[in-house]
Chains A and B, each alone.
Chain A
């Protein structure tokens, strides 16, 4: 699988990067470490300010982050739920400053409102790694680093997979978009559209916003199938909407190829749906949890004086070929 190859190369790149950081740290003794109290055998508290726990993807981020942190005995991870509210999240970030955590991880609910809070953290001498979503400003200066996936590229990969593998002979396709005006929704829509341009025989006959929600997706896709009975495939901008699309297709007694996004684990997630043959594919939106803890290790344990300011984590295509094997991970 080309996507798997991509993923392995990215892992190797990470390893190389971490290695080179170590070398630099070893050679350039003069450069100050990002955290003065760094030490191999220290004890460190990492605070994670999550935008909102009440979404399956966000829970997945928490799970991966907790698993990665657990593997480092020196780290204690504290997660605060911003509850999708900038006021709550701001006060939680301030609380982390009060608690004097050693490093802050944050997925800001919105960019501008959390920007001053992140600045206060940086001013307090605490490094900030932003996960998945950014605040305003420059990586490496206004915050220490950004780690996340690239929504456009992930949707582009889904579009290309549709062009080459799912619908090589063309046909009618549909798109279920996320919450309008939110950046991931826009990027995923554009990425998919650009990806299917590779095959001129594919026509996107319907696209509607279903706000990331399965029930809205079911209703919207049922209506699409009424209006366009020849729809052969649907691209859902997240796994939950793909689940809704499946219900609509079953209700209409049609076999439609479905692509999800996020590649969530668990019984309600996309990986299992692909393994069962319900969907054709899903493309993981990486949490960056493992990469974030690796970066925290190099800052807190290895006394790195600098880290890569922007780390883009690649997607993995979950297809019938690898879904069963991915379930165990």
Chain B
């Protein structure tokens, strides 16, 4: 089957008429990001006339803190565009951090071997979940919920119930010093390396989603699975692939985590799946599948980080931070729903 066939018969073509609300929704995450930054500047505490919020160090804090959930959210965007969900990502991060630490410290593996092994493990973990879900026609929600438990259990087994500290140096029991780079900063000691990993991964993912046949298939599966199948899209393979991608992303985030904090812990990454889903939804990707963008996810991720930062700089309680995040998620969802109704898509 040809590509032309797919694109022409694909049900996810944008509505032809221009709806101002749709424009807002299309760019909601960028608009939101600008608004949050403007608010950040206005409400930033000042010291001797210096606006603390936009200090390079502070911006670096924000983008560093969101790097791990950002990497996961990038993977999650693929899954959600296919109308799926992956709840196992946070636990998979914990598993990856533990395996990274174990391989390097007690396994005596080198940096490259460890990284490749952990990425392969994460990809396979996602692949298995996708395959189970697809083959037995099970809800991804259930399969990945089981995956969450499995990853935590495996992480506890691998780590022997211990936190695994990573120390650096040459010789057995020590990690290669270069691994500590992940916790550092580049370009005048300003840009966190973790953020660079996040941005590179985001760029590759954007290219894959926007310019490849695979990317078009992902949209097609989420837009209308039946139509996609009739058009010859290998639906099962695409579904399995997106879970492999989230598995890969979780493993990458786990490696970054271990490198940033010099340790592996089975309990780490708890709740990251929800932060990642929130970032994707705020970024304008619909949980019903078929639409969404990578740029939106990146903006959504940074928006959540900036919001937490400005509230914290002003010493506003964690309760308010949760409530304001909740308000933004609801706002994003309501906007999407309004647009869908106008376009006659219902729901």
Q: Which residues of A pack against B, CB within 8 Å? A: 53, 78, 80-81, 83-88, 90-92, 94-95, 97-100, 110-113, 115-116, 180-181
- Tell me if A116 and B183 are in contact (CB < 8 A): yes
- Residue of A78, A88, A91, A116 contacting most chain B CB atoms (<10 Å): A91
**Which positions 159-186 of chain B face chain A at CB distance < 8 Å?**
161-163, 165-166, 183
Decide yes or no: A181 and B162 within 8 Å by CB, A95-B58, A113-B262 being known contacts.
Answer: yes
B61 contacts chain A at the CB level, 8 A cutoff: yes
- Tell me if B313 and A87 are in contact (CB < 8 A): no
Q: How far is the CA of A180 from the CA of B159 in the complex (A)?
A: 13
Q: How far is the CA of A80 from the CA of B317 in the complex (A)?
A: 8
16 A/B residue pairs, CB under 8 Å, sorted by A: A87-B65, A91-B65, A91-B308, A91-B309, A92-B312, A94-B61, A95-B58, A98-B52, A98-B58, A98-B61, A110-B261, A111-B165, A113-B260, A115-B262, A116-B262, A181-B162
Decide yes or no: A97 and B57 within 8 Å by CB, A87-B68, A90-B65, A112-B165 being known contacts.
Answer: yes
Instruction: List residues of chain B with CB within 8 A of the CB of A98.
Output: 52, 55, 57-58, 61, 313
Q: Which of B163, B183, B309 contacts A95 (CB 8 A)?
A: B309
Decide yes or no: A100 and B47 within 8 Å by CB, A83-B318, A86-B268, A91-B65 being known contacts.
Answer: yes
Tell me how far the C-beta of A204 lies from the nearest C-beta in chain B, rounded to whole angstroms: 22
Minimum CB distance partner of B263 in chain A? A112
- Tell me if B313 and A113 are in contact (CB < 8 A): no
Which 7 A-B pairs have CB atoms at the shortest separation, nearest pair first? Answer: A113-B261, A91-B65, A181-B161, A94-B61, A81-B318, A78-B315, A98-B58
Q: Which of B55, B165, B270 contacts A85 (CB 8 A)?
A: B270
Q: How far is the CA of A98 from the CA of B257 in the complex (A)?
A: 23
- Tell me if B257 and A110 are in contact (CB < 8 A): no
- Tell me if A90 and B261 are in contact (CB < 8 A): yes
B215 contacts chain A at the CB level, 8 A cutoff: no
B250 contacts chain A at the CB level, 8 A cutoff: no
Tell me how far the C-beta of B164 lies from the nearest C-beta in chain A, rounded to whole angstroms: 9
Tell me how far the C-beta of B161 lies from the nearest C-beta in chain A, rounded to whole angstroms: 4
- Tell me if A91 and B61 are in contact (CB < 8 A): yes
Minimum CB distance partner of B167 in chain A? A112
- Tell me if A95 and B263 are in contact (CB < 8 A): no
Q: How far is the CA of A98 from the CA of B312 in the complex (A)?
A: 11
Tell me how far the C-beta of A58 lies from the nearest C-beta in chain B, rounded to whole angstroms: 12
List 20 extra interface pairs beyond A78-B315, A113-B260, CB under 8 A. A83-B318, A84-B270, A85-B268, A86-B261, A86-B265, A87-B68, A88-B65, A90-B260, A91-B61, A91-B62, A94-B64, A94-B65, A95-B312, A98-B313, A110-B163, A112-B163, A112-B166, A113-B261, A115-B262, A181-B162
Q: How far is the CA of A87 from the CA of B72 in the complex (A)?
A: 14
Q: How far is the CA of A112 from the CA of B259 in the complex (A)?
A: 12
- Residue of A83, A87, A94, A99 contacting most chain B CB atoms (<10 Å): A87
- Tell me if A110 and B265 are in contact (CB < 8 A): yes
Instruction: List residues of chain A with CB within 8 A of the CB of B57.
Output: 94, 97-98
CB 8 Å contact bits of B140-171 with A (1 = contact, 0 = none):
00000000000000000000011101100000
Instruction: List residues of chain A with CB within 8 A of the CB of B308.
Output: 91
Instruction: List residues of chain B with CB within 8 A of the CB of A84.
Output: 270
Tell me how far the C-beta of A7 lies from the nearest C-beta in chain B, rounded to whole angstroms: 33
Q: How far is the CA of A115 from the CA of B263 in the complex (A)?
A: 11
Instruction: List residues of chain A with CB within 8 A of the CB of B312.
Output: 80, 92, 95
B107 contacts chain A at the CB level, 8 A cutoff: no
Tell me how far the C-beta of B172 lies from the nearest C-beta in chain A, rounded to whole angstroms: 19
CB 8 Å contact bits of B298-328 with A (1 = contact, 0 = none):
0000000000110011010010000000000
- Tell me if B61 and A95 are in contact (CB < 8 A): yes
Instruction: List residues of chain B with CB within 8 A of the CB of A115.
Output: 262
- Tell me if A91 and B261 are in contact (CB < 8 A): no
Instruction: List residues of chain B with CB within 8 A of the CB of A95.
Output: 58, 61, 309, 312-313
Tell me how far the C-beta of A191 lies from the nearest C-beta in chain B, rounded to whole angstroms: 20
Decide yes or no: A87 and B52 within 8 Å by CB, A94-B61, A112-B165 being known contacts.
Answer: no
Q: How far is the CA of A86 from the CA of B161 in the complex (A)?
A: 18
B45 contacts chain A at the CB level, 8 A cutoff: yes
Q: How far is the CA of A100 from the CA of B52 in the complex (A)?
A: 10
Q: How far is the CA of A99 from the CA of B310 in the complex (A)?
A: 11
Instruction: List residues of chain B with CB within 8 A of the CB of A99.
Output: 45, 52, 313
CB 8 Å contact bits of B261-282 with A (1 = contact, 0 = none):
1110100101100000000000
Tell me how far the C-beta of B224 lies from the nearest C-beta in chain A, rounded to whole angstroms: 38
Tell me how far the C-beta of B56 lies from the nearest C-beta in chain A, rounded to whole angstroms: 10
Q: How far is the CA of A194 from the CA of B112 in the complex (A)?
A: 47
Instruction: List residues of chain B with CB within 8 A of the CB of A181.
Output: 161-163
Decide yes or no: A113 and B263 within 8 Å by CB, A97-B57, A98-B55, A181-B162 being known contacts.
Answer: yes
- Tell me if A112 and B64 are in contact (CB < 8 A): no
Minimum CB distance partner of B310 in chain A? A95
Tell me how far the C-beta of B332 lies from the nearest C-beta in chain A, rounded to whole angstroms: 22
Instruction: List residues of chain B with CB within 8 A of the CB of A113.
Output: 260-263
Q: How far is the CA of A81 from the CA of B308 in the complex (A)?
A: 12
Q: How far is the CA of A181 from the CA of B261 in the complex (A)?
A: 19
Q: Which of A78, A85, A110 contacts B263 (CB 8 A)?
A: A110
Minimum CB distance partner of B162 in chain A? A181
Tell me how far the C-beta of B183 lies from the nearest C-beta in chain A, rounded to whole angstroms: 6
Instruction: List residues of chain A with CB within 8 A of the CB of B270.
Output: 84-85
Q: Which of A80, A92, A100, A112 contacts B262 (CB 8 A)?
A: A112
Instruction: List residues of chain A with CB within 8 A of the CB of B315.
Output: 78
Instruction: List residues of chain B with CB within 8 A of the CB of A80.
Output: 312
Instruction: List residues of chain B with CB within 8 A of the CB of A83.
Output: 318
Instruction: List residues of chain A with CB within 8 A of the CB of B62.
Output: 91
CB 8 Å contact bits of B113-154 with A (1 = contact, 0 = none):
000000000000000000000000000000000000000000
Instruction: List residues of chain A with CB within 8 A of the CB of B52.
Output: 98-99
Instruction: List residues of chain B with CB within 8 A of the CB of A85.
Output: 268, 270-271
CB 8 Å contact bits of B248-259 with A (1 = contact, 0 = none):
000000000100
